[in-house]
Structure 1
Amino acid sequence: MIEYLSIHGLGVIGDATVELDPGFTVVTGETGAGKTMVVTALNLLLGARADAGAVRHGASRATVEAGFRLAPGNAALRLAAEAGAVLDDDADTDDGAEPALVVTRSVGAAGSSGRSRASAGGRGVPVALLGELGEHLVAVHGQTDQLRLKSPAAQRHALDSFAGTAVAEALTAYRRDYEAWKQSAAELAEITTHEQDRAREAENLQRSLEEIDHAAVEAGEDAAVRAMIERLENVEELRAASLGAHAHLAGADAAETVEIPSAEALIESARQSLLAAPGQDEDLSGMARRLAEAGILLADISGDLAGYAARLDDDAGADLDTAQSRLAELTRLMRLYGPELADVIAWAETHRPRLEELQGDSGRIDELTAEVARLEQQVLAGAAELTRLRGEAARELSGLVSEELHALSMPDASFHATVSTGGEPGPHGADEIRLLLQPHAGAEPRPLGKGASGGELSRVMLALEVVLAATDPVPTFVFDEVDAGVGGEAAVQIGRRLARLARHVQVIVVTHLPQVAAFADRHVKVTKDSDSEAGFTTSDVASLDGEDRVGELARMLAGRSGSGAARDHARELLEASHA
């Protein structure tokens, strides 16, 4: 709901702020006082096109601000928060749980350099965002305003909301089947349309995976092969070094042509010398044991050197070719599938499931074909059920709205909510929902907004909103001159229905009929003050109660607020409307 509305420099209103309450608020005033500026201000806050000519004479800008108190689930809060708006969740209210949102709009005067500006929650936003917010904040019905339910989507949503849980449950089940159907159909189309491409992809994948599998790649293998190549390239030098070292350890026999003292023999001779010493000297015995250990260690090293030299056989050249070929193969795989051999292995494991998927296309096509056919039947059955339920709701809605129209001085008018099928199933079913008005007997029902005057259209929307209020509410409804062209008992019925609508939502009505104004919970008057010497007119906005309200109703009844008879009649209206 709207908590307050501030207007500065708009039309005849210089500076005015009005506090608003839940329920039914009426705005009255003499002709030309500026009542419609209230509606103009709200339209600006809802993203309407700015008119620089509406800026008050002498002012550089017109500024409008409104504070909204909204239920936590209202979509406008999400949209505003996404735009960076600051929401007041701790305002001092009776039910402080409802977030508050402040929206402003300013318009530069004609000829000024100022542009239209908008903000939500203290953050500058595009004017277009105000229009999006407005769809969830306020519904304005006036002589020239657009219809809240003008779009097919809005009309379908209104009928579905009116239909209640039966359609809601059927629609949930239908959407589940519809999404599954579209997903399976898209997958089937993908497979069949790109069958040749998928076959080529499978062939290439199989070739690559076979190549990797045949190579039997191991992570880190390339480093080992490079080390082997380096050793094989230096085989002669390695053989000479190992044999020379072995000769020094094993003696002249191992060196073949060169007499080299045996390190093993020398150590053994040294040990024997120590053992031949007289007596049992513990120090010499310990060193003799250490020499024995050294001799064993040298014998082991000598054996290892001999084995190493033996392995460097005459086939080293062939081994080198094999190692270089292996390294070339590994390098090619790394160039194709990854910078490291671990990446090559990972690539194979990642793409193996894709190959299995592609190779199973023929079976998958049969499976999907059956699945699509099954889901299509479920979707068609669900769409038919939605059509049936919507048809029942449409007939009930048509009857209720038509009854309201008859009470609103449109006795020959009838409202028609129609449900037609024949199109392809979509996310919301296969139905086309249309809300039509037959203004009088014999006329063809026409879409809302066509074939009806502004006053008639406002009454049609009032009748529709009264019926839909409990199921599809917007927090605030504004009606501008909804009572145009009516009076007497019809005006009373309009007031009564506005009051009924206000049980569910906030209602703001601009009217000139006292029969309507008497039903309001709050009365706001726009007063005009002309200053001929200064050359401008100023309007003020004030809330009325008690005798002030009685006086305003008397003015509306008789043209004079001081008339005793008119004041008595005004009190009678107030008593009757709140009985």
Structure 2
Amino acid sequence: MIEYLSIHSLGVIGDATVELDPGFTVVTGETGAGKTMVVTALNLLLGARADAGAVRHGASRATVEAGFRLTPGHAAVGLATEAGAVLDGEADPDGGADPGDTADLALVVTRSVGAAGSSGRSRASAGGRGVPVALLSELGEHLVAVHGQTDQLRLKSPAAQRHALDAFAGSEVTEALAAYRRDYEAWKQAAAVLAEITTHEQDRAREAENLQRSLEEIDLAAVEDGEDLAVRALIERLENVEELRAASLGAHAHLAGADAADAVEIPSAEALIESARQSLLAAPGQDDDLTGMAQRLAEAGILLADIAGDLAGYAARLDDDAASDLDTAQSRLAELTRLMRLYGPELSDVIAWAEDHRPRLEELQGDSGRIEELTGEVARLGQQVTAGAAELTRLRTAAAQELSGLVSAELRALSMPDASFHATVTTGGDPGPHGADEIRLLLQPHAGAAPRPLGKGASGGELSRVMLALEVVLAATDPVPTFVFDEVDAGVGGEAAVQIGRRLARLAQHVQVIVVTHLPQVAAFADRHVKVTKDSDREAGFTTSDVAVLDGEDRVGELARMLAGRSGSDAARDHARELLEASHA
């Protein structure tokens, strides 16, 4: 619902804020006072096209703002949150936020319009965050339904009309539609897979052949993660084996001494270390420093002996590696490189590619069996979809007849005795996600006329009454939080006006209702009476309007003015009190 509406520099309204109740609020005032600016402001907040001419003379911008109270699960909450809007929730008694709180949320929406000739553009915000004007339209579809002389219909689209009829039909259609959609989605998915297989059978066969060839060559290569690095190291060793052998044997000779067969005598590092140690041990006396250094030389000799042994082993392994075929290692590296180029870039990627594509090969190789299986499944699900669509048609047709009768009865009470409402269900099309039915809401304005879509063949006032009748019937099943009616009572009076007021009050039992009216019979039924007053200052050259909430004798006076043109007439005031008492009764 709308908690408040603020208007600044829009039309004749300079600056006004009005608090709104959850029930029935009526807006009245003399002709030209600016009553329609309330509807204009709401339309701006709902994404209507901005009119720079509506900006108050002398002002650079017009601004309207509304505070909405929403339940946490409301569709508008999700739309606003996705756009980055901040919604205020009720605080718990300790002042903190409770994540599990189900209290209502507050959303503030603003819209500003630049005056003609100014550089300012239309701007919109929701929850303190600037948003596209298109988002206001999306929010508006879930927040407010405006029925006026020139406003679009809430139930204009076929989808909205189908949704309204399904909601009116109740749980039977809800359950039947849910079952139908499950079958429909399964049927479409199975049919799509079958079409994919049969339409691209040759392509899938070629894909299977290529996949099998690729997986076979990877399996045959028996690659291991990191194997290419080991092969590269082996190739480098084989290519430099002589230099490596010479280096390792030369170092070994310096440490352990040359072989007896070598012509050149190389002093042994091990022997020199040992000689140095013996010299220290041969010193007279027991010198602790020399004894310690002798021990360290012994440790150095052991370390050099270990290194010499490692060098001898390394040289021996070089001899073993030399027996390997360098060509074989290079061929292996070439094979690994080719696989990495095709499926890599690393060997780990080659292995992962093979594992990822094995299921696809199994799927493709089973095409023949799957075609037979899917053909049967598509046929079975198709029968279920057809049966489900027929059941939806049956339920919708019954609901359409009931809805037509109820709305037509409401129209007769709203001073449209010759009009009749028709909800039609036409079937025979291809099944879709919502069945095979085309739902249309039609109005037959008078006997002998052909039923026409809502919005065609009826005046603005008549159309507002048609929508009032329809909304009253749908109120308990398909409501939006707030309904706004502008001049719903155009062209009627007397008992018909009383019936309009009574039905607006009935609608307000389910939703918030805001009505702009000039009929006291309608205004008397309201829970809250808002008056727009005009004040002209010819010398200053401007006109202003103000918005005030009336109660008590002030409300009686306004109803008297609407009845007799004079708020001070005793007879009119008595009549006004009588209207209020009758409406409350």
In the superposition, the TM-score normalised over structure 1's length comes to 0.86
RMSD: 4.6
Q: Distance in 2 between matches of 1:91 and 1:266?
A: 89
Q: 1:494-509 residue pairs with structure 2 within 5 A? A: 494-509=500-515
Q: Distance in 2 between matches of 1:417 and 1:388?
A: 14
> Which is worse superposed, 114-123 or 404-413?
114-123
Q: Distance in 2 between matches of 1:280 and 1:566?
A: 138
> Contact 1:530 / 1:537 at 8 angstroms: preserved in 2?
yes
Pair 1:529 & 2:570 matched: no
Q: Distance in 2 between matches of 1:93 and 1:504?
A: 30
> Which is worse superposed, 22-31 or 345-354?
345-354
Q: Distance in 2 between matches of 1:52 and 1:260?
A: 105
Deviations 1:312-355 (A, max 9, x none): 89996773332332232222222322233333222222222221
> Contact 1:62 / 1:106 at 8 angstroms: preserved in 2?
yes
Q: CA separation of 1:209/1:439 partners in 2, compared to 1, >3 Å: closer, same or farther?
A: same
Q: CA separation of 1:430/1:243 partners in 2, compared to 1, >3 Å: closer, same or farther?
A: same
Q: CA separation of 1:281/1:189 partners in 2, compared to 1, >3 Å: closer, same or farther?
A: same
Q: CA separation of 1:549/1:294 partners in 2, compared to 1, >3 Å: closer, same or farther?
A: closer
> Which is worse superposed, 240-249 or 349-358?
240-249
Deviations 1:122-144 (A, max 9, x none): 22222221111111111111111
> Which is worse superposed, 182-191 or 323-332?
323-332
What SS is found at the alignment partner of 1:18?
strand
Q: CA separation of 1:330/1:286 partners in 2, compared to 1, >3 Å: closer, same or farther?
A: same
Q: CA separation of 1:62/1:233 partners in 2, compared to 1, >3 Å: closer, same or farther?
A: closer
Q: CA separation of 1:500/1:255 partners in 2, compared to 1, >3 Å: closer, same or farther?
A: same
**Offset of 1:98 from its aligned partner?**
13
Q: CA separation of 1:284/1:369 partners in 2, compared to 1, >3 Å: closer, same or farther?
A: same
> Which is worse superposed, 344-353 or 490-499?
344-353
Q: 1:333 aligns with which of 335, 339, 346?
A: 339
**Offset of 1:186 from its aligned partner?**
1.5
What SS is found at the alignment partner of 1:136?
helix
Q: CA separation of 1:254/1:291 partners in 2, compared to 1, >3 Å: closer, same or farther?
A: farther
Q: 1:145-294 residue pairs with structure 2 within 5 A? A: 145-233=151-239
What SS is found at the alignment partner of 2:393?
helix
Structure 2, unpaired ranges of 5+? 100-105
Q: 1:445-456 residue pairs with structure 2 within 5 A? A: 445-456=451-462
Q: Distance in 2 between matches of 1:534 and 1:289?
A: 116
**Offset of 1:568 from its aligned partner?**
1.1
> Contact 2:472 / 2:506 at 8 angstroms: preserved in 1?
yes
Q: Distance in 1 between matches of 2:309 and 2:80?
A: 85
Q: Distance in 1 between matches of 2:277 and 2:94?
A: 107
Q: Distance in 2 between matches of 1:532 and 1:282?
A: 122
Q: CA separation of 1:268/1:429 partners in 2, compared to 1, >3 Å: closer, same or farther?
A: same
Q: Distance in 2 between matches of 1:93 and 1:215?
A: 71
Deviations 1:416-458 (A, max 9, x none): 0001011111111111100001111121111011111111111
Deviations 1:518-560 (A, max 9, x none): 1111111111222222222222111111111111111111111
**Offset of 1:242 from its aligned partner?**
9.9
**Offset of 1:114 from its aligned partner?**
1.9
> Contact 2:92 / 2:98 at 8 angstroms: preserved in 1?
no
Q: CA separation of 1:21/1:213 partners in 2, compared to 1, >3 Å: closer, same or farther?
A: same
Partner of 2:74: 74
Q: CA separation of 1:412/1:206 partners in 2, compared to 1, >3 Å: closer, same or farther?
A: same
Deviations 1:196-225 (A, max 9, x none): 222222222111111111122233333443
**Offset of 1:276 from its aligned partner?**
21
**How many residues matched?**
579
Q: Distance in 1 between matches of 2:288 and 2:66?
A: 109
> Contact 2:63 / 2:110 at 8 angstroms: preserved in 1?
yes
What SS is found at the alignment partner of 1:253?
coil
> Which is worse superposed, 140-149 or 275-284?
275-284
Identity percentage of aligned residues: 92
Q: Distance in 1 between matches of 2:61 and 2:110?
A: 13
What SS is found at the alignment partner of 1:315?
helix
Q: Distance in 2 between matches of 1:196 and 1:233?
A: 50
**Offset of 1:472 from its aligned partner?**
0.8
Q: Distance in 2 between matches of 1:483 and 1:79?
A: 34
> Contact 1:69 / 1:98 at 8 angstroms: preserved in 2?
no
Q: Distance in 1 between matches of 2:506 and 2:169?
A: 20
Q: CA separation of 1:246/1:152 partners in 2, compared to 1, >3 Å: closer, same or farther?
A: closer
**Offset of 1:262 from its aligned partner?**
15
> Contact 1:5 / 1:66 at 8 angstroms: preserved in 2?
yes
Q: CA separation of 1:382/1:289 partners in 2, compared to 1, >3 Å: closer, same or farther?
A: same
Q: Distance in 1 between matches of 2:162 and 2:262?
A: 107
Deviations 1:491-513 (A, max 9, x none): 11111000000000111111111
> Which is worse superposed, 174-183 or 268-277?
268-277
> Which is worse superposed, 350-359 or 215-224?
215-224
> Contact 2:238 / 2:321 at 8 angstroms: preserved in 1?
no
Q: Distance in 1 between matches of 2:217 and 2:421?
A: 74
Deviations 1:454-484 (A, max 9, x none): 1111110000000001111111111111111
**Offset of 1:189 from its aligned partner?**
1.8
> Which is worse superposed, 109-118 or 321-330?
321-330
Q: CA separation of 1:312/1:132 partners in 2, compared to 1, >3 Å: closer, same or farther?
A: closer
Q: CA separation of 1:443/1:21 partners in 2, compared to 1, >3 Å: closer, same or farther?
A: same
> Contact 1:71 / 1:98 at 8 angstroms: preserved in 2?
no
Partner of 1:540: 546
Deviations 1:392-414 (A, max 9, x none): 11111111101101111111111
Q: Distance in 2 between matches of 1:386 and 1:337?
A: 53
> Which is worse superposed, 232-241 or 195-204?
232-241
Q: CA separation of 1:255/1:543 partners in 2, compared to 1, >3 Å: closer, same or farther?
A: same
Q: 1:27-46 residue pairs with structure 2 within 5 A? A: 27-46=27-46
> Contact 1:90 / 1:96 at 8 angstroms: preserved in 2?
no
Q: CA separation of 1:103/1:327 partners in 2, compared to 1, >3 Å: closer, same or farther?
A: closer
> Which is worse superposed, 267-276 or 48-57?
267-276
Q: Distance in 2 between matches of 1:120 and 1:522?
A: 27
Q: Distance in 2 between matches of 1:94 and 1:312?
A: 80
> Which is worse superposed, 479-488 or 188-197?
188-197
Q: CA separation of 1:485/1:296 partners in 2, compared to 1, >3 Å: closer, same or farther?
A: closer
> Contact 2:186 / 2:381 at 8 angstroms: preserved in 1?
yes
> Contact 2:497 / 2:521 at 8 angstroms: preserved in 1?
yes
Q: CA separation of 1:507/1:317 partners in 2, compared to 1, >3 Å: closer, same or farther?
A: same
> Which is worse superposed, 342-351 or 268-277?
268-277
Q: CA separation of 1:17/1:98 partners in 2, compared to 1, >3 Å: closer, same or farther?
A: farther
